[in-house]
Amino acid sequence: MVVVELWCILLLLALALVALPASRQGLGGPVVYGGALLVSLAACATGAKALAGGDASALSLPLGLPWLGMHFRIDALAAFFLVVVNLGAAAASLYSIGYDRHESAPLRVRPFFPAFLAAMNLVVVADDAFSFLFSWELMSLASWALVMAHHREEANAHAGLVYLVMASFGTLALLLGFGLLAGPEGAYQFDAMRTAHHAPWLAALVLALALLGAGSKAGIVPLHVWLPLAHPAAPSPVSALMSGVMTKVAIYGLVRIVFDLLGPPDWWPGLVVLALGGITAVMGVLYALMEHDLKRLLAYHTVENIGIIFIGLGLALAFRANRLFEPAALALTAALFHVFNHMVFKSLLFFGAGAVQVETGERDMERLGGLIRPMPVTSFAFLVGCVSISALPPFNGFVSEWLTFQAILLSPELPQWGLRILIPGVGALLALAAALAAACFVKAFGVTFLGRPRSDAAVAASEADRFSRAAMLVFAAICLLAGTLPGFVIDALAPVTQGLVGARMPTQSADPWLSIVPIAASRSSYNGLLVFFFILLSASLAAAAIHRLASRALRRGPAWDCGFPDPSPSTQYSAGSFAQPIRRVFGPVFAAREHVSMPPPLSTAPATIHVTLRDLVWEAIYAPLGHAVAFAADRLNHMQFLTIRRYLSLVFAALVVLLLVLAIWL
């Protein structure tokens, strides 16, 4: 099992090495991405097999620190995440075969793409602190190189800087955490950490550090700032990987540390994680609503979905701390299910955004529109993605959020008042986030694909190439399948929850009509398949009946528009105007300012509206930090320009101080 996986990783690294020579032969794209596709599929199959098999398989290689070696292990959790990672990787590779032809700097992408995949696989199978952090940081490094692929744009260089610093911040936080877990003797093996008993304060500290480390990678507020910078900067398949897959690897890290290594913690960590999740979900979707750059919008939505996943994890923590294992299993299943779902539809959406960017050269929604006609397949797939991410039945996004709600409804069984007070609020935040997400994706799809083209580029657009279309359609199909047959996914997750919280949800696939029943049929149940068929049935029924009994005639005419149709596309509702009501409602979050200047009567000057939004998180935390560093650097910089005499006096001062220390203390 693990051997096969390691061979896959090795093959990916080999691909990274042959990328440049192959490119010199002029077949770099097919070789690298085709190879990556095959290897990822193999690794995905391995993961699925391990998940089905259930038994953990381990292996250690004499690499890294010799007395430690590099340990690898595939248990249920790792297997599940292997499936997630490699499924996304396979789709991204397939997409890249086509995208590579439009890539402006292919040689800066091809070598690092497989390396990035390999690193993510390594993180998942790592079984000791060293190899975990090694591959974790390798993952950051490879993705940083990919972000820097289009390094000639100033913004991308800045994005790369912020990204790498934040990533290393996370790694160092995790490093400190592992340092605590390992103890002064350096017991870096995960087994040792599992068996070791950790003092409560230590567990708390480790948890905080893990939240900082994994959270900064996953993008929880306020550690999310790099996401909307880095994800759009990278080439679209890489954006899909970073947003859809890498953030999931971060979630894996958190689950591995908190659920697996740390042993049973106190109840309040659940509180913290829940609160973070709720805030992250709502903040993320609000930022996304205010965004007009399609890829930045998607990146912010990643923040939102990470929040939703965190809510599930927090619930699971809280339940587990109170030894309510079935509810914990339910919550954890919901979180992991959402991990899978988000991987699928976020990759799908980024593929779509990438196709749009390739065909039109635009990412700004205000200059797009009407793409549903030139790009039918892309727009259809994108629509499926939008419906799924908006948590609308019968697609997969709804199922995981529904499960989360069911878990929330079990929380009155919790004894702690803090949780009792907090959880309903978090539930409200979750519902709010879901509703806002729907609004946001009406905006995203409506402005980008519907209406009339807002620029010549949008007029001249054409359908994406067949590889991209294939990748998108496959994921669209998965969205529908996972939404209509969720029982199988839940059952597949059973070994994971069994291993982590010592319980599992009741077997679903045996239920009549393949519906899912989290606890008991009398309590709640949902059947995506039947629902899907009902809607399909009644829709076609209505259509057939109407066409047969009533009329089927259809005339084309100019738009009615209350009698004042205006040919200019600029009269359409724009993304900004669409978001305006919500901006009014949630204005304080962005310290939004609207400045309207109305010309005086009889003046022909155009009226203008000027909207300013501020990223309060950045202003509150990151800008001050940057200023502090700059200030210190400026102050200390004088040390470079002293005279020799002053340097001598420094030496002298050091000597005198040390002698004084000797004289006084010793």
Partner 1 sequence: MTPFAFDVAHLLAGGLVLVSFVLLYQDRLYALLKVYALHAFVLSASVAWQAYVQDAPHLYATALIALAFKAIVIPLALRRIIERLGIHREIEAVVGIGVTMLAGMALVALSMVVMLKVTPGAAPLAREDLSFALAVVLLGLLMMTTRRNAVSQVVGFMSLENGLVLAAAGARGMPMVVEISFAFSILIAFIVIGLFLFRIRERFDTVDLSALHRFRGEIR
Partner 2 sequence: MTVLPFDAVAALLLTPLAAAVVLTLLPGHRLKAQVNVAASFLTLLAALSLLVAMRPAPSTFLLIDDLNIVFIVLGSFVGFTTSVFSASYIAHEIETGRLTPAYLRFYHAMYQVLMFAMNLALVSNNIGLMWVAVEMATLTTVVMVGIYRTHEALEAAWKYFILGSVGIALALFGTILVYIAAEPVIGEGLLSMEWTLLSSRVADFDPALLNVAFVFLLLGYGTKVGLAPLHAWLPDAHAEGPTPISAVLSGLLLNVALYAVLRFKILLAGNLAAFAPGPLMVTMGLSSAVFAVFMLYRRRDIKRLFAYSSIEHMGIITFAFGMGGPLANFAALLHMTMHSLAKSGIFFAVGHIAQVKGTQRIADIGGLTVTNPWLGWSLVVGVVAIAGLPPLGIFTSEFLVVSSTFARAPVLAVVLVLGLLVGLGALVTRLNGLAFGEPRGEQHPGEASYAPMLAHFALVLGAGIYLPGPLVEWFRHVSSILG
Partner 3 sequence: MALIFGLAVQGVQMFLVLLAAPLLTGLVRRVKARLNRRCGPPLLQPYRELWRLLRKDVVLAESASWLFRAAPYLIFASTWVAAALVPTFATGLEFSWTADLIAIIAFLGTARFFQALAGMDVGTSFGGIGSSREMMIASLAEPAMIMIVFTLALIAGSTQLSTVAEVMVAGVGLRVSLALALVALVMVAIAENGRIPIDNPATHLELTMVHEAMVLEYSGRHLALIELAASLKLVLYVSLIACVFAPWGMAAAGTGAVPALAGIAAWAVKLGIGGALLAMFETSIAKMRVFRVPNFLGAALMLGLLATLLRFVSAGM
656 binds, options partner 3, partner 1, partner 2, none, Cβ within 5 to 8 A by partner type: partner 1
Q: Of how many residues is the chain composed?
A: 666
Task: Pick one of 48, 187, 202, 409: the residue that binds partner 3 (CB under 8 A).
Answer: 409
Sign of CA dihedral 314, 315, 321, 325: negative
Work out how close the CB of 622 gets to partner 2 at its nearest, in angstroms, rounded to a whole number.
12
69: left (phi over 0), alpha (psi -120 to 50) or beta: left
127 binds partner 2 (CB under 8 A): no
155 binds partner 2 (CB under 8 A): no
Q: Cβ distance 33 to 24 under 8 Å?
A: no
Work out how close the CB of 205 gets to partner 2 at its nearest, in angstroms, rounded to a whole number.
9
214 binds partner 2 (CB under 8 A): no
Nearest Cα residue to 475 out of 89, 82, 131, 70: 89
CB of 509 or CB of 524, closer to partner 3:
524
CB of 546 or CB of 650, closer to partner 2:
650
Token output for 617: 């998180």
Using CB under 8 A as the binding rule, the residues of this chain from 603 to 662 that contact partner 2 are 629-630, 632-634, 636-637, 639-640, 642, 644, 647-648, 650-651, 653-655, 658-659, 662
Identity of the residue numbered 99: Y
630 binds, options partner 1, partner 3, partner 2, none, Cβ within 5 to 8 A by partner type: partner 2
Nearest Cα residue to 339 out of 51, 46, 81, 48: 81
Beta strand pairing call for 70-74 and 57-61: antiparallel
- Cα(275)–Cα(258) distance, integer angstroms: 16
175 binds, options partner 2, partner 1, partner 3, none, Cβ within 5 to 8 A by partner type: partner 2
398 binds, options partner 3, partner 2, partner 1, none, Cβ within 5 to 8 A by partner type: partner 3
Task: Pick one of 30, 264, 581, 599: the residue that binds partner 3 (CB under 8 A).
Answer: 581
Residue 409: Cβ within 10 Å count: 16
- Cα(319)–Cα(264) distance, integer angstroms: 11
Work out how close the CB of 660 gets to partner 1 at its nearest, in angstroms, rounded to a whole number.
7
CB of 562 or CB of 651, closer to partner 1:
651
Using CB under 8 A as the binding rule, the residues of this chain from 185 to 204 that contact partner 2 are 186, 188
Which uninterrupted H or E stretch holds 544? Answer: helix 528-549
65 binds, options partner 1, partner 3, partner 2, none, Cβ within 5 to 8 A by partner type: partner 2
Q: What is the 3-state secondary structure (H, E, C) of 80-115?
A: HHHHHHHHHHHHHHHHHHHHHHHCCCHHHCCCHHHH
- Cα(148)–Cα(452) distance, integer angstroms: 35
CB of 553 or CB of 662, closer to partner 3:
553
* Bridge partners for 293 per DSSP: 364
List of residues contacting partner 2 (CB under 8 A): 62-67, 129-130, 133-135, 137-138, 140-141, 148, 151-152, 154, 157-158, 160-161, 164-165, 168-169, 172, 175-176, 178-180, 182-184, 186, 188, 629-630, 632-634, 636-637, 639-640, 642, 644, 647-648, 650-651, 653-655, 658-659, 662, 666
